[in-house]
């Protein structure tokens, strides 16, 4: 077994005997066998055990105590942590499986850095690999999913923390036989039998059924993963030559691609580009469906700009004439300018406020003590003083195609709102959802730019309305 373990992680440049390893140990057969094997071959001084209590089962505390006691008996340091996974799932709108994965890998990555480990090691085995490939196939995955898990990779969402799966070519039966030979009293997780979880249904229902068609189905699924992984690596190497030509700019949580160069690529490269965007900006978004990718591609290829799409992990894509912007805080594009959530008209109460996206708000309030001089001297583009007919309601909405307004100070002459935004250097990609405050009859304020002549405050105006657009930096 040791030879298979070493062979599985051969791409890892540091020999096990000289690396410091953090082992994720649940107490089950796979992780316990791996811990015992490494303890025997490497020694306790190079190992640290990590265990996360998900607080999902009544037995969880006892399992954590079992792992800690086992590690102590072999003189291996042990790090324990507890996370309320159910609360994490509800807060982030995730399934229990996805939330558990997020919490687990975050804990392992943070602990690895804290203890100075060269790699995180987990006990995923060959049967897990077959189940993973089949799950991805059922979800409509491409080659990225069909390659399954990798023996050497990085911890999802954690740049630079190496993740090793030494048992990836060892099946469950061999692992359990190892536990029997060495009298290892591993713990059985009862939730692994619960078929309400998709993976358990695949393990206990679908795979046994497929074995009636082909007894070697697990082996063939593992072979499919190995073949696809090699082909995927070659494909990525070729795409690495294309990617720098597509990428225009990027920041901590955003990036932009050249739209024309994207369109010039073949469909395969376009799909790879979109998947790479999601992987870079939302590394923990494990499920990227074909339908989502194709919807995004269709919007990009359409002969128009100003459209948007939502990608996995809440990642927003905005299509401009010359670029594609992804993320939530691109300078001058996303986050740093006000944007409506959609194209619906929303009533603006007076007094009151309306929340836009990314923490932006528009507030309206009556003013009883402002002078006409104060109004005329206002030089804040994000504040406007307006007058509307008594009883008139205000709305926040996008402007309509070819809609015109009457800029203040132009004697009633009109101008297209789109032209105004263009002249003010507002990026084309954010214009379609740029907020406009209006009455039912006409625009009142092109937010951040211009008041309409028909909403002009005059000496006879009794109660002007102050409109303010601001971003709550605490959000």
Both tokens assigned to 308: 């948007």
The backbone torsions φ and ψ at residue 228, rounded to the nearest 5 degrees and listed phi first, read: -65, -35
Average pLDDT over residues 313-337: 70
Residue 303 exposed, middle or buried by CB count within 10 Å (0-12, 13-18, 19+): exposed
Q: Quick one: pLDDT band at residue 348, thresholds 50, 70, 90?
A: very high
Task: Give the separation between CA 167 and CA 8, rounded to whole angstroms.
Answer: 7
Average pLDDT over residues 67-91: 93
Average pLDDT over residues 382-409: 90
* DSSP code per residue over 146-208: HT---SEEE-TT-TT-EEE-TTTTS-HHHHHHHHHHTT--PPP-GGGG-TTSHHHHIIIIIHH
Q: State the pTM of this model.
A: 0.64
Is a pLDDT exceeding 90 seen at residue 315? Answer: no
Q: Quick one: pLDDT band at residue 140, thresholds 50, 70, 90?
A: confident
Query: How confident is the model at residue 202, as a pLDDT?
Result: 92
Q: Quick one: pLDDT band at residue 208, thresholds 50, 70, 90?
A: very high
Share of the chain above pLDDT 70, in %: 95
Edge-to-edge strand ranges of the sheet holding 254-258 = 247-250, 254-258, 323-327, 315-319, 308-311
Task: Give the separation between CA 122 and CA 30, rounded to whole angstroms.
Answer: 9
Average pLDDT over residues 329-350: 72
Query: How confident is the model at residue 287, as a pLDDT?
Result: 64
Task: Give the separation between CA 298 and CA 153, rounded to whole angstroms.
Answer: 32
Average pLDDT over residues 15-36: 93
Is a pLDDT exceeding 90 seen at residue 238? Answer: yes
Is a pLDDT exceeding 60 seen at residue 332? Answer: no
Both tokens assigned to 88: 């994490």
Q: In Å, how far are 12, 19, 46 from 43, measured between CA atoms?
A: 19, 11, 6
Is a pLDDT exceeding 60 seen at residue 474? Answer: no
Cβ(14)–Cβ(46) below 8 Å: no
The set of residues, in sequence order, having a beta carbon less than 8 Å from that of 265 and lying 6+ positions away, is: 242, 246, 273
Cβ contacts of 3-8, under 8 Å, gap ≥ 24? 4/169, 4/170, 5/34, 5/37, 5/166, 5/167, 5/170, 6/166, 7/169, 8/151, 8/165, 8/166, 8/167, 8/168, 8/169, 8/170
* Planar angle of CA 59, 64, 67, nearest 5 degrees: 125
Task: Give the separation between CA 413 and CA 405, rounded to whole angstroms.
Answer: 8
Query: How confident is the model at residue 475, as a pLDDT?
Result: 42
Question: Can you list the domains of the chain with their CATH numbers?
Answer: 2-213 (3.40.50.620), 238-327 (3.30.465.60), 346-471 (no CATH)
- Better-scored residue on pLDDT, 159 or 323: 323
Give exposure, 450-462, as e/b (b: 16+ Cβ within 10 Å): bbbbbbebeeebe
Task: Encode pLDDT of 148-200 as tens digits.
Answer: 999 999 988 777 889 999 999 999 999 999 999 999 998 887 777 778 778 88
Tally of residues, the chain:
475
Both tokens assigned to 213: 């068609």
| Torsion, CA 88, CA 91, CA 96, CA 101, rounded to 10 | -50
- Better-scored residue on pLDDT, 458 or 238: 238
Average pLDDT over residues 402-413: 90
Is a pLDDT exceeding 80 seen at residue 472? Answer: no
Task: Encode pLDDT of 252-290 as tens digits.
Answer: 778 899 999 999 999 999 999 999 999 888 876 666 778
Average pLDDT over residues 44-70: 94
Instruction: Answer whether the bond into residue 320 is a cis peptide, omega within 30°.
Output: no
Average pLDDT over residues 349-359: 84
Task: Name residue, tokens 């692992």.
Answer: 175
- Better-scored residue on pLDDT, 81 or 4: 81
Is a pLDDT exceeding 50 seen at residue 439? Answer: yes
Count other C-beta atoms under 10 Å from residue 148's C-beta. Answer: 24
* Count of helix runs (H) and strand runs (E) in the chain: 16, 22
The backbone torsions φ and ψ at residue 429, rounded to the nearest 5 degrees and listed phi first, read: -65, -20
Query: How confident is the model at residue 42, as a pLDDT?
Result: 92
Query: How confident is the model at residue 328, as a pLDDT?
Result: 65
Count other C-beta atoms under 10 Å from residue 369's C-beta. Answer: 5
Is a pLDDT exceeding 50 seen at residue 333? Answer: no
Query: How confident is the model at residue 242, as a pLDDT?
Result: 97
Closest Cα partner for 468 from 443, 425, 422, 435?
A: 435
Is a pLDDT exceeding 70 seen at residue 33? Answer: yes
Average model confidence (pLDDT) across the chain: 88
Q: Quick one: pLDDT band at residue 39, thresholds 50, 70, 90?
A: very high
Task: Give the separation between CA 286 and CA 84, rounded to whole angstroms.
Answer: 21
Closest Cα partner for 97 from 54, 133, 136?
A: 54
Query: How confident is the model at residue 214, as a pLDDT?
Result: 96
Average pLDDT over residues 196-225: 93
Average pLDDT over residues 381-393: 86
């Amino acid at each position: 077994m040791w030879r298979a373990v070493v062979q599985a992680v051969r791409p890892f440049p540091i020999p096990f005997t000289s690396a410091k390893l953090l082992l994720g140990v649940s107490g089950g057969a796979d992780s316990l066998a791996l811990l015992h094997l490494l303890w025997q071959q490497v020694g306790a001084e190079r190992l640290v055990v990590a265990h996360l209590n998900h607080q999902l089962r009544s037995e969880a505390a006892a399992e954590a105590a079992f792992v800690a006691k086992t590690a102590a008996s072999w003189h291996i340091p042990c790090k324990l942590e507890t996370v309320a996974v159910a609360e994490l799932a509800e807060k982030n709108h995730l399934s229990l499986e996805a939330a558990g994965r997020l919490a687990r890998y975050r804990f392992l990555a943070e602990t690895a850095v804290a203890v100075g480990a060269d790699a995180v090691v987990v006990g995923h085995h060959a049967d897990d690999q077959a189940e993973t490939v089949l799950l991805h196939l059922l979800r409509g995955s491409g080659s990225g999913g069909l390659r399954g898990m990798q023996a050497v990779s990085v911890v999802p969402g954690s740049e630079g923390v190496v993740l090793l799966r030494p048992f990836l070519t060892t099946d469950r039966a061999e692992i359990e036989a190892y536990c029997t030979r060495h009298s290892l009293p591993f713990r059985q997780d009862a939730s692994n039998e619960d078929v309400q979880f998709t993976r358990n249904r695949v393990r206990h229902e679908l795979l046994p059924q497929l074995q009636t068609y082909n007894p070697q189905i697990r082996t063939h699924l593992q072979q499919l993963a190995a073949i696809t992984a090699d082909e995927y690596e070659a494909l990525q190497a070729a795409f690495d030559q294309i990617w720098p030509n597509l990428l225009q700019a990027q920041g901590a949580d955003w990036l932009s691609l050249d739209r024309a160069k994207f369109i010039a690529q073949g469909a395969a490269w376009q799909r790879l580009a979109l998947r790479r965007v999601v992987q870079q900006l939302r590394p923990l978004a494990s499920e990227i469906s074909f339908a989502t990718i194709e919807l995004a591609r269709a919007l990009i290829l359409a002969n128009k700009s100003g459209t948007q799409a939502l990608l996995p992990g809440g990642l927003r894509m905005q299509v401009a004439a010359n670029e594609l912007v992804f993320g939530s805080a691109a300078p001058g594009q996303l986050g740093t300018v006000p944007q409506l959530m959609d194209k619906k008209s929303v009533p603006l109460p007076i007094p009151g406020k309306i929340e836009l996206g990314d923490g932006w708000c528009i507030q309206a309030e009556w003013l009883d003590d402002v002078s006409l001089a104060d109004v005329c001297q206002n030089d804040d583009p994000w504040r406007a003083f307006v007058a509307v007919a008594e009883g008139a309601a205000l709305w926040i909405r996008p402007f309509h195609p070819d809609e015109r307004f009457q800029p203040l100070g132009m004697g009633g002459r009109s101008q297209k709102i789109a032209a105004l935004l263009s002249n003010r250097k507002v990026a084309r990609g954010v214009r379609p959802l740029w907020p406009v405050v209006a009455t039912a009859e006409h625009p009142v304020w092109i937010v951040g730019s211009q008041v309409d002549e028909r909403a002009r405050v005059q000496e006879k105006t009794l109660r002007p309305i102050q409109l303010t657009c601001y971003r709550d930096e605490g959000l």
